[in-house]
Amino acid sequence: MARPSELRACALQCLLETDPLTKTEAVAAMAAAHAAGRLAVDSGAVPAVDGSIPGRPVRPELVPPRLVGRRSMATQEGRAMLIHALAHIEFNAVNLALDALWRFPGMPVEYYTDWLRVAKEEALHFSMLSAHLQLLGAAYGDFPAHDSLWEMVERTSGDITARMALVPRTLEARGLDAIPPLRAKLLQAGDPAAAKILDRILEDEIGHVEIGNRWYNYLCGQRGLDPRAAYGELAARYRAPALKAPFNIEARRMAGFTETELSSLG
């Protein structure tokens, strides 16, 4: 399929792609084309949608979170299920970055190039986890998964301030907290290669959450909103999950959370 010559239209086309491998390859090609100057950014255009958002493979089966099975990390199947769950998160993260890139007009060009970077890195994370999953005798789609991350993307599709507040700086920020204990479990289970992948993911995710923080604060400034007060109102309106300890305070600090915000975490 021919790719559009405008970045946001190309991002939408990548978002509509259903095959994970084709999607990740298309994201990499889009990033390379933009770096080479072959994809311009039209911040005022609203690309036409011709397909289901997001494009998904037939598998994995999507089930409520309580029905996603868990197995002992002492078994290869248990580790495969964990890596599969992480791969699914990263696949959804590719889609959410593409959605943030194409959906919202009228932002500075830097907003779109930031989310292009996120899409490229999330696609790399998915590819790394998928390759490791194959080493464990499984493939993406072999186990059920849940769709909580994308549900918040859908809820905030009409409000870019809510999207920045509740997806990167809330749901993705939870990943900053979750990765260190997961890494420790994988190391204890004798899987240093998976632990190394998580090291890379954590490093990149700090930058992704920082992008969400930066653009959230930009939007609050543009709209004359107090960021802390607006966050509480948006979290209530869009039913964001409550934040739960433990928190990776240093990673959150590096991702742009203020000392006041960090102290309020308890």
pLDDT digits (tens, 9 = 90+) for 218-260: 999 999 999 999 999 999 999 999 999 999 999 999 999 999 9
Distance, in Å, from the CA atom of 166 to the CA atom of 180, rounded to the nearest integer, reads 22
d(CA 79, CA 85): 10
Question: Could you give the CA distance from residue 76 to residue 133 in angstroms, rounded to a whole number?
Answer: 10
Look at residue 201 and tell me if it is in a domain. yes
Q: What pLDDT sits at residue 2?
A: 53
- Residue 245 in any domain: the answer is yes
Mean pLDDT to the nearest integer, 6-33: 96
Distance CA 186, CA 189 (A): 5
Is 33 contained in some domain? yes
Distances 104 to 4, 8, 160, 164 between C-alpha atoms, Å:
18, 9, 7, 11
Averaged pLDDT, 177-189? 95
Identify the CATH number of the domain in which residue 87 sits.
Answer: 1.20.1260
* 64 belongs to a structural domain: no
Tell whether 54 is covered by a domain.
no
In total, how many domains does the chain have? 1
115 pLDDT exceeds 70? Answer: yes
The predicted structure's pLDDT at residue 53: 94
Tell me: the pLDDT tens digits for 134-166?
Answer: 999 999 999 999 888 899 999 999 999 999 999
Cα(54)–Cα(78) distance, rounded to whole angstroms? 28
Report yes or no on 67 lying in a domain.
no
Q: What residue numbers bound the domain in which 148 lies?
A: 7-49+73-263
Question: Encoding tokens for residue 5?
Answer: 């010559």
Which of 45, 26, 185 has its CA nearest to residue 103?
Answer: 45
Packing angle of the helix pair 76-103, 148-155 (nearest 10 deg)? 10
Residue 129 located in a structural domain:
yes
Distance between start and end Cα atoms, the chain = 51
Do the domain assignments include residue 223? yes
| DSSP secondary structure, the chain, as one string | -PPPSBHHHHHHHHHH---HHHHHHHHHHHHHHHHTT--B--TT--PPP-S-SS---S-SPB--GGGS----TTSHHHHHHHHHHHHHHHHHHHHHHHHHHHH--S--HHHHHHHHHHHHHHHHHHHHHHHHHHHTT--TTSS-B--HHHHHHHHTTT-HHHHHHHIIIIIIHHHHHHHHHHHHHHHHTT-HHHHHHHHHHHHHHHHHHHHHHHHHHHHHHHHT--HHHHHHHHHHHTTPPPP-S---HHHHHHTT--HHHHHTT-
Quick: pLDDT tens for 39-74. 999 999 888 898 899 999 999 998 887 777 777 788
